[in-house]
Structure 1
Amino acid sequence: MQTFIGIVIALIIFGVLVLIHEFGHFIVAVKNKVTVNEFSIGMGPRIYSHVAKSGTRYSLKLLPLGGSCAMLGEDEDNNEEGSFNSKSIWARMAIVFAGPFFNFILAFVLALIVIGAKGIDKSYVTYVDEKSPAYEAGLRVGDQITKFNGAHATLGREIYLEEYVNPLDGSNISITFTRNGEKKSITYKPSTQKKAIVGMSYTSQDTKATVEQVTKNSPMAEAGVMAGDVVTEIDGTKITTGSDMAKYISEHPFGEKEVNITLDRKGKEIKVVLKPKVTEIADRGFVYNLAREKVSFGNVIKYSFTEVRYEIATVLKSLKMLVTGQVSANEISGPVGIVTVIGDTYTSAKSSGATVTILSLINLAIMLSANLGVMNLLPIPALDGGRIFLYLIEIITGKPIPKDKEGMIHFVGFVLLMALMVFLLFNDIRKLI
């Protein structure tokens, strides 16, 4: 039953994301007087349709899987009046760009709802070790951090993301912050200390203690722990939520002794034993806020933009980690994996009531919508970004790319994307087994 509900919710979320994406193409195409042959909600056979005076057929289709916007002559060598290719290069670029852009708009609107209800995790300092270089450099409790090692850090999660992507290694730390409206900047060399690490990140909120990432060649990886596993027990202590896990680790920091961990992997109990790896790590010397706090209406709007920026940065930095080998391709989730995450989010949040459940799912939709926008703008053939890239070549050379060659380029890109989807599908299934 839970799986069925998760699939239904996932279909609704995916459907809305794709529909908004296609609506972006549609509305800008109409504004540029491009003939839209059909705009449909859903996919598959039509169950209802109506042809408007403009000639556009509006259809409702059987499968609730997004929608489509079919424009006259979009993929053909057709320059008749009203066709896609009869328009200027800038009009075509605007129409193509509008799809991903509307996904960013949707992410912003959804962020307004979540931040208005739950607030935001402002990145102010909650604790500074008075013996640390950070304190000596002038950092104090209450300082509002705006940049951390060159990265935007308006949110506490932005600092967490930067540290995860670029772990502290003893090099100088640079921080920009405001105090009583005055902007200040400091740079200091962090102290180092020996610390036992296991190599993972996990959900540290009041939901299941789900392992989000496992560091390559870490004790966790060597023990066979996988992203998506849920920690239920550590050395005999029951772990119900991510908050429980964070508290336990804070009170019982890992040492050189072996650790017994019990995991839930899709309903199957797995027990692992691992020995933390003692290593020299840099200590930033301060603690920053990660708790959400309510803000004024004006700040809800301001921080909603910040939320979208954070989600976009998360996608881009994750892609960087994939390209540089910091994470493996096996850690990427495809459609099945995303459906599983949505189902787990619903299952974890529903015990806290309808409001928490809805806000949790909306928060997930923000991430997915921003993700869809960014991925579609990558300069890969068959994606919107691939089309924009070819248009840029046309602008630079002053010559349009022949339609047969453009079609072949997009066909090759489509085949490669389908191959990637098959890989992700099997990868997701492998994780479920």
Structure 2
Amino acid sequence: MGIVLAILLFGFIVFFHELGHFLLARINGINVYEFWIGMGPTLAHKKIGNTDYCLKILPIGGACVMGEDEKEDLSEGSFNSKSPWRRISAIAAGPVFNFILAFIGAFIIICFVGVDKPVIGTVNAGTPAAEAGLQAGDEIVKINDKNIHIFKDISTYNQFHQGQTMKIVYKRNGEKNTVSVTPEKNDSGYYLIGITSSNYVKTNVFETAAYSAYNVKYWINLTIDSLKQLVTGRIGVDQLSGPVGIVSAVDTTYKESKSGGALLIFLNLLQMTILLSANLGVMNLLPLPALDGGRLVFLIVEVIRGKRVPPEKEGYVHLAGMALLLCLMVFVMYYDIRRIFF
């Protein structure tokens, strides 16, 4: 059951991404020739108007084919007959819709469970936080140059700045105070300052919307910080997860949530949706060939230059990028399978 849910979840996230492309293409008068979810052989398809809607056998991707690679086609309704800004909006809509989906998911979760505000619940005796004078009830608003909105911001900042001294700005009784805290390594090898979060609190609809945005921002920043660590070599490519790893993670989440009932399963899977959707949005905006971000780079260059990059050159770049992405996917899937089964 967990694996089926994982496939459906991943398929829905991809569908929502492609829906963004589809809707903005239609709004901008761009023809959509194919709209499909999955990869590989077609399981089912139906043509409505000019669009062929397809469901493919492998739930690991999708596409909204707008004819963007048909550079010579300037006929009415073709992708390349439209202004650069119309094309940019259609391409950017996919990642933007991923962020919208993540926001909707966060809003629903907060409506059910409340907000994890960055308020200290307890301060463990003898820890750096206690020695610095932090107390239960203090609200942390800033660490060094990073604004803090939710409690997860604190733990994640500490995770990516292990052992570094933190200048913490906090509120107590309406007044701001500042202390310096240096995390200490515990027996498990983690650097901690010795605080725990307070209880989740319910908020009004406007605060719920704001904290939903903060949650999406959190997952976006986490993805970007992880990519930085990948580029700098602090984590290896073998630690990445692809479709196989995602299915395994969702399956594990489902199994661990079963004992808590349907609502807990729903909320935990929704949390996975937020994580994956925000991640997919960021990854697709990377300025890499064949990704939405790569296509946006060429369109922005066109806006700046006032003329298009020669179609054959752009095509070669995207083709090379696609080949590299496929190689990376195979590599990541290999390590996913190795981690799970061996």
TM-score normalized with structure 1 length: 0.72
Give the conservation status (yes or no) of the 8 Å contact 2:15–2:62.
yes
| 1:278-293 → structure 2 map (5 Å cutoff) | 284=193, 287-289=195-197, 291-293=199-201
What is the rounded CA distance, in whole Å, between the counterparts of 1:192 and 1:96 in structure 2?
43
Match of 1:150 in 2: 145
Tell me if structure 2 keeps the 8 A contact 1:71–1:83. Answer: yes
Provide the residue aligned with 1:256 in structure 2.
none
2:55 corresponds in structure 1 to 61
Q: 2:295 aligned with 1:387, yes or no?
A: yes
* CA distance in 2 between partners of 1:72 and 1:328 (Å): 36
Closer, same or farther: CA 398–68 of 1 in aligned 2, 3 Å? same
- Residues 12-411 of structure 1: pairs in structure 2 closer than 5 A: 12-40=8-36, 44-45=41-42, 47-52=44-49, 56-57=50-51, 59-61=53-55, 63=57, 65=59, 67-72=62-67, 74-128=69-123, 139-169=134-164, 171=165, 173-182=166-175, 184-188=176-180, 190=181, 195-199=185-189, 284=193, 287-289=195-197, 291-411=199-319
Instruction: Check conservation: 1:6, 1:346, Cα contact below 8 A.
Output: yes
C-alpha distance in 2 between matches for 1:136 and 1:120: 28
Q: Aligned Cα RMSD in Å?
A: 2.6
Give the distance between the partners of 2:124 and 2:2, measured in 1 at CA.
Answer: 45
Return the alpha-carbon distance in structure 2 between the equivalents of residues 62 and 415 of structure 1. Answer: 20
Q: Which amino acid aligns with 1:329?
A: V
- 2: distance between equivalents of 1:48 and 1:333? 30
> Relative to 1, partners in 2 of residues 1:402 and 1:30: Cα closer, same or farther, differing over 3 Å?
same
TM-score (norm 2): 0.89
CA gap 1:121/1:394 in 2 versus in 1, 3 angstroms: same
Aligned 8 A contact 2:95 2:285 in 1: yes
Aligned to 1:277: none
The alpha carbon displacement at 1:151 in A equals 2.0
Whole-Å Cα distance in 2 between the matches of residues 168 and 104 of structure 1?
32
CA contact under 8 A between 2:223 and 2:282: conserved in structure 1? yes
Q: Which moved more, 1:33-42 or 1:398-407?
A: 33-42
- Contact 2:163-2:182 at 8 Å conserved across structures: no
Could you tell me how far apart the structure 2 residues matched to 1:358 and 1:179 are?
Answer: 36
Pick the structure with greater CA Rg.
1
Higher strand share: 1
More helix by share: 2
Counting matched residue pairs gives 339
Cα distance in structure 2, aligned partners of 1:64 and 1:425 = 14
Verify the 8 A CA contact 1:121 1:155 in the aligned structure 2. Answer: yes
Name which of structure 1's ranges 327-336 and 418-427 shifts more when overlaid on structure 2.
327-336
> 2:178 is matched by which residue type in structure 1?
I
In 1: Cα distance, 2:227 partner to 2:199 partner: 27
Deviation at 1:398, TM superposition (A): 2.8
Amino acid at match of 1:118: V
**Matching residue's letter, 2:313:** K
**Contact 1:74–1:83 (CA<8 Å) still a contact in 2?**
no
Equivalents in 2 of 1:384, 1:192: separation in Å? 40
Instruction: Supply the AA of the counterpart residue of 1:59.
Output: Y
Distance 2:189 2:233 in 1: 15
Residues 41-74 of structure 1: CA deviation (Å, up to 9, x unaligned): 566436352433xxx3252535483653222454
